[in-house]
Amino acid sequence: MKAAFENIKEYYEVLIVGGGIVGAGIFRDLSLHDTSCLLIDKKDFSSQTSQSSSKMLHGGIRYLENFDFKLIWEALHEKNLWLKLAPHLCYSQNFVLPIYDNSKWPLFMMRFALSLYDFLSGYENIGHEIISKRKLIKKIPGIKENGLKGGGTYHDAIMDDAKITLEVIFDGLKNKSCNAINYIEFLSFENKGEINLVHIKDTLTGIKKTIKVKELIFAIGPFTDQLLGKQKNLNWNPILLPSKGSHLWIDKKHLPIEYPIVLNTNDNRVIFVIPQQQAVLVGTTEEPIEQDMFDVRPSKNEIEYLLKNLNNYFPGYTIDKNSVLSSFSGIRPLVKGDSDDLGKTARTEKIYQPYHNVHVIAGGKYTTFRVMGQGISRIIIGRKKMPYNHKLTESTLKRPLLVPAFKPVPLNEELIFKIIEREKVRTFEDLIYRRIGIESKKHWKSEMAEGKSFDEFFLPLVEKLSKKIKITREDVLSYFA
């Protein structure tokens, strides 16, 4: 297994703790401004919140009722920008919003809301449409017809959240003074004025190391209070109101729809039902959480809640636990505001500076990651007496992963080892889940690997793979069982 510390230098201008989408965005931004950076994550890049979204780049149609117009405007412009910069990672899709007798928004309000949504996009969105009951049933066969009045359609983007994060990091790695290493845990730091001494550990080998950095950035999302609260040299007061959100992948045979749907639930929430290739993504829930936030899984109640709402809206289909291919959860890093209502907590980011060269960023939403960290980048670049060029971050992502988003690729032994060498893979889960995109064995199709089952393909490779990554025979046999 490759030793990570041999690739870490003794000094960097900037250390970024947190390899989710926000840390990745800041890493790329500073790399493009020729600033030496090290990006670290306690686990794999994008292995927590940033791989656990609803897989959308969107303005946030449901934020209209909270009057978050500035956030929606920014998110819609970022969404449309990424459709141009990374068309291999995201694509525009027509969303359907059905309206019923008891819906929160009647049709006339829906018309106004979707018109406002298009306006806030600067009319870069493909225009909305109000459709009749008959047309909606034709577009979404099997949807509940009782009480249906019609609906609206609008456009947002579907994305592969984990792969966007990875490609943003790889784009930053084109600058040879920058590095990104996963499975490196931040332990503590000492602020020595202009320099921070940072103590880190390789979680796979247990080896520890101390490095020097000018600027230290924490972009650790829902783990902000947990980690910073342990730092003896920080009088950190909790800032987050963390919220757990869970999703299900439903076998498309059990829910054969072609267009994404936005469902309003009886408890005034929104559930997205988004078809992708052979599966349909359904989510999300919203629950407070206080437990350890790493690798959280959906609760029985959350699974039942999502299935109940699906069956309410699609009474003609049989959708039960046997329809579920896999499930996942993530933690939203919501910053505390005036309300403890998770549904009304703003999705805007906040930046803190415990020391003049220590920065903390928390909150925000995936779609606005590129602009979220620019406030920190501007400070750091300004201290170098260099101009900050925001246009640099609008450059196109040109390095697709070996297994691209949305396109199945035939697998063979040679390709597997290329992925491991090029894409900073350190464990079996990294390889399968984020690099290849197989959420569980139920998602595996034998045609992916010359007719072989998951076990038939990977078990013979375990011994060879173990020389490169952390893997056991049990990892293969029990993968997301």
**Bridge-partner residues for 47, per DSSP?**
none
Q: Cβ contacts of residue 308 below 8 Å, gap of 6+?
A: none
Do residues 36 and 29 lie in contact, with contact meaning Cβ atoms separated by under 8 Å? no
CA 220 to chain centre: 13
Placement of tokens 């600058």 in the chain:
175
Domains of the chain (ranges, CATH numbers): 5-50+162-240+345-394 (3.50.50.60), 93-158+243-332 (3.30.9.10), 413-477 (no CATH)
Tokens standing for 232?
């003896």
What b/e string do you get for 67-77 counting C-beta neighbours within 10 Å, with b at 16 or more? Answer: ebeebbebbbb
CA distance 333 to 218: 13
Give the start-end residues of each E strand in 105-193.
129-132, 148-159, 179-182, 184-191
The percent of the chain in helix, strand and coil, each rounded to the nearest 5, is: 35, 25, 40
CA distance 444 to 46: 21
**Bridge-partner residues for 298, per DSSP?**
none
CA distance 394 to 81: 8
Q: Predicted confidence band at 345 (pLDDT cuts at 50, 70, 90)?
A: low
Q: If you write DSSP's letter for every residue of 371-386 in order, what string do you get?
A: HHTHHHHHHHHHHTT-
Q: Predicted confidence band at 343 (pLDDT cuts at 50, 70, 90)?
A: low
Tokens standing for 333?
């890093």
**Percentage with pLDDT > 90 across the chain:** 74
CA distance 208 to 187: 9
Tokens standing for 251?
């076998």
- Residue 338: the pLDDT is 46
CA distance 439 to 421: 21
CA distance 145 to 315: 9
- Residue 340: the pLDDT is 55
- Residue 3: the pLDDT is 63
- Whether the per-residue pLDDT at 346 is higher than 70: the answer is no
- Whether the per-residue pLDDT at 118 is higher than 60: the answer is yes
The residue type at 65 = E
- Residue 344: the pLDDT is 54
CA distance 261 to 143: 10
- Residue 398: the pLDDT is 77
Q: What SS3 state is found at 7? A: helix
The lowest-confidence range among 179-188, 304-313, 330-339, 347-356 is: 330-339
3-state secondary structure 453-471: CHHHHHHHHHHHHCCCCEC
- Residue 45: the pLDDT is 97
- Residue 6: the pLDDT is 78
Give the start-end residues of each E strand in 175-260.
179-182, 184-191, 196-202, 208-218, 243-251
Q: Predicted confidence band at 1 (pLDDT cuts at 50, 70, 90)?
A: very low
Task: Give the pLDDT confidence of 45-70 residue by residue, as tens digits.
Answer: 999 999 999 999 998 887 887 778 88
Residue 140's alpha-carbon distances to 143, 150, 361, 433, 472, in angstroms, are: 6, 11, 41, 30, 44
Do residues 446 and 453 lie in contact, with contact meaning Cβ atoms separated by under 8 Å? yes
Q: What SS3 state is found at 37? A: strand
The pTM for the full model equals: 0.93
CA 60 to chain centre: 15
Do residues 101 and 149 lie in contact, with contact meaning Cβ atoms separated by under 8 Å? yes
CB-neighbour burial class of residue 331 (10 A; exposed 0-12, middle 13-18, buried 19+): buried
Give the start-end residues of each E strand in 261-418.
261-264, 270-276, 279-283, 287-288, 324-332, 349-355, 358-363
Average pLDDT over residues 83-107: 91
- Residue 397: the pLDDT is 87
- Residue 348: the pLDDT is 79
Nearest-10 Cα torsion for 112, 115, 121, 122 = -120
CA 322 to chain centre: 26
Q: Across all residues in the chain, what is the average pLDDT?
A: 91
Task: Give the pLDDT confidence of 353-367 residue by residue, as tens digits.
Answer: 999 999 999 998 899
Closest C-alpha to 244, from 305, 303, 330, 306: 330
Task: Give the pLDDT confidence of 274-329 residue by residue, as tens digits.
Answer: 999 889 999 889 988 877 788 889 999 999 999 999 999 999 899 999 999 999 99
Q: Predicted confidence band at 331 (pLDDT cuts at 50, 70, 90)?
A: very high
- How long is the chain? 481
**Bridge-partner residues for 37, per DSSP?**
14
